[in-house]
Structure 1
Amino acid sequence: MSILYRSDLPRAAAWASYFAEYAPDLDFRIWPDVGDLNEVEYLIAWQAPAEFLATLPRLKVLFSSGAGVDHVDFSAVPAHIPLVRMVEPGIINGMVEYVSLAVLALHRDFFDYVVANDARVWHPLEVPPASARTIGVMGMGSLGCAVLERLATYGFRLRGWNRSPRDLDGVESFAGADQLQPFLDGCDVLICLLPLTPSTKGILNRELFSALPAGAALINVGRGPHLVDADLLEALDSGQLSRAILDVTEPEPLPMEHPFWTHSRVFLTPHVASMTQPESAAPILLENVRRHQRGEPLTDVIDRSRGY
């Protein structure tokens, strides 16, 4: 029985080492050293082109190596093959760290102090308590809930918006399209952690920005296509938004001539908010393989009708 790993090559060795120690009965292969593709039953991949999937006649399960699956063409994956997303502590902890850093940097005006440092200006700014700021999270899945739980420890007022109702202690929750406007009204910092689906593509647009309080800030750690770039630039230049922290863009890498690079109110990172950590991900994935071998239900299977 073979498992093929076709993802981040620098981390492939760690995956191979784990499977060699804890699952020596499984033939763990690393792309492009694939051997006979007719023997591959499990695929771990970030990109899974249709033409490649067609070369795997015995494929039983497709595991995404990341938390999202928007990079996978569902129509190319036969209906009988489960598509499983990655939910593991390394991804969650990384996202919690990144968003906490971003929110606190905005809250404590670190970006303004960077400008002051460059100009050699000593100008203390007012320090409001965390309880004076309302942080809103769009997307209350495993990542969104973990982020909200951590932000609660700082004392921020918290709001969450989700497609379907979701309750979390200490969080004012909103659900569905009808409650999006009330959710946005009052959010000093808006965090996008939505899955990318046809209904969420372009959701960060002029209409949404206008519903936020003047001077609000945006943190996008979802996907680049959530954002309408021109609408963000317009909102920043008008003062409707004060700042944007973007870990994701469309396309990636962002072209050198893109105005985000030089805009004084945009801070970019290269899609590094969270990454799958082999040390914590491999045991979870292996347990899912064992569940499949035992005929038990898999965990974290994608609902194709929802897209996540």
Structure 2
Amino acid sequence: MAIFLCGGWALDQPEGRAEQQRWLQALQQVLPGEDWVLQKPDGPAQAAAIEIAVVANPPPGSLQGLPRLALIQSLWAGVDRLLQDLTLPHDVPLCRMVDPAMNEAMVQTALWATLAQHRGFFRCQQQQRTAQWRQPAQLRAGEWQVLVLGQGELGGRVARALAGLGYAVAGWSRRPRAGEGLRTLHGAAGLAQGLATADTVINLLPLTEETRGFFDAARFAAFKRGAAFVNLARGAHVDEPALLAALDAGQIGHAMLDVFREEPLPAPHPFWSHPQVTVLPHTAAQTDPRSAAEVVAANVRALRSGAALQHGVLRSQGY
């Protein structure tokens, strides 16, 4: 049986081939002796030999015609693009990536963004451009309210890390959820309460049909005036013109954005030059092939031994 390594890599370009090889080498380290298929199966015999697909946002239709496919393992935490592929086999288990190294990187970025906003360091950076010497107020961490939207693997880790530094943290989810000692909010009433009081709002929601365009003009109007917004999830969560209008009106004091509706972010986009926006090039947390390969290997072994797969996706919920 074979494993199909399939991604959105441009294999006709050196960078795409290099990225595929980087993943292949990491996977071969932890799954030695496997038969790897690196391109579209060459005929029915090779297609029938594929048991597992390890995927990184492959082109739509890539997993059609694989009669013995028993597992689709994503290399990315988000599976929204995969689920938009109407040809994805519905009866094959789909597992998302929960990479411990990526989780730690996400925590680091969220801590940096919150600390820079809380202590006024983004403002100091702006003042440097015009040689202004103004010391921002130094509030205690416990005086800075943080709302983390999404209490899954990433959101929960971020909320606990911030609480560990003394911040006043609340975690929000659609339904009631235990927060392991954290203050938790849920539903429409909890969201309204959290947005009205938070100094920093961090988005780590999954992208589903319910959350697409979640941050629109009405949602930004519900923020505490002057609050900071940190988007570490998906660009499609945000109505970008609405965010720009909220920034210009002072309703949002600062936006730290790692993801965008169009990537790379086009050079003429107003986010690049807006004085209250910090742009990251989708680098808040990248999957680390070394640790991610171990996660893939664990599910491959689980499938073959009949054990439970880890991090399975509930397709009806979109994550």
- Look up the match of 2:12: none
- Look up the match of 1:94: 105
Gaps of 5+ in 2: 10-15
1:107 matched to 2:115 = no
What is the DSSP-based 3-state SS (H/G/I as helix, E as strand, rest coil) of the residue aligned with 1:264? coil
**Per-residue CA shift, 1:232-286, capped at 9, x if unaligned?**
0111111111010110000111222221122111111111111111111111211
- Over 3 Å counting, the alpha-carbon distance change for 1:53 and 1:132 in structure 2 is same
- Look up the match of 1:145: 156
Write the letter of the residue equivalent to 1:60: A
| TM-score normalised by L of structure 2 | 0.90
**Per-residue CA shift, 1:131-177, capped at 9, x if unaligned?**
11100000000100100111112211011110121222442211123
Write the letter of the residue equivalent to 1:307: G
Offset of 1:39 from its aligned partner? 2.3
- Look up the match of 2:69: 59
**Per-residue CA shift, 1:27-84, capped at 9, x if unaligned?**
1343479793442221121223333222433322111111000111253212211111
Equivalent residues of 1:19, 1:28 under 8 A apart: no
- Look up the match of 1:214: 225
Residues in 1 aligned to 2:257 and 2:154: alpha-carbon distance in whole angstroms:
17
Write the letter of the residue equivalent to 1:203: F
Offset of 1:292 from its aligned partner? 0.7
Residues 153-172 of structure 1 correspond to what in structure 2 (within 5 A)? Answer: 153-172=164-183
Write the letter of the residue equivalent to 2:99: E
Equivalent residues of 2:254, 2:276 under 8 A apart: yes
Which has the higher mean CA deviation after the structures are superposed, 294-303 or 238-247?
294-303
Equivalent residues of 1:67, 1:91 under 8 A apart: no
Write the letter of the residue equivalent to 2:94: L
Residues in 2 aligned to 1:229 and 1:214: alpha-carbon distance in whole angstroms:
18
- Look up the match of 1:25: 33
| TM-score normalised by L of structure 1 | 0.94
**Per-residue CA shift, 1:175-210, capped at 9, x if unaligned?**
123322112120110000000001111111111111
Residues 1-308 of structure 1 correspond to what in structure 2 (within 5 A)? Answer: 1-7=1-7, 9=16, 10-31=18-39, 36-72=46-82, 73=84, 75-308=86-319
What is the DSSP-based 3-state SS (H/G/I as helix, E as strand, rest coil) of the residue aligned with 2:33? coil
- Over 3 Å counting, the alpha-carbon distance change for 1:21 and 1:197 in structure 2 is closer
- Over 3 Å counting, the alpha-carbon distance change for 1:82 and 1:169 in structure 2 is closer
Equivalent residues of 1:139, 1:161 under 8 A apart: yes
Gaps of 5+ in 1: none
What is the DSSP-based 3-state SS (H/G/I as helix, E as strand, rest coil) of the residue aligned with 1:208? helix
Offset of 1:130 from its aligned partner? 0.9
Residues in 1 aligned to 2:27 and 2:96: alpha-carbon distance in whole angstroms:
19
Which has the higher mean CA deviation after the structures are superposed, 81-90 or 43-52?
43-52
Offset of 1:211 from its aligned partner? 1.3
Offset of 1:14 from its aligned partner? 4.5
* Count of aligned positions: 308
Equivalent residues of 2:120, 2:137 under 8 A apart: no
Write the letter of the residue equivalent to 1:23: L
- Over 3 Å counting, the alpha-carbon distance change for 1:215 and 1:282 in structure 2 is same
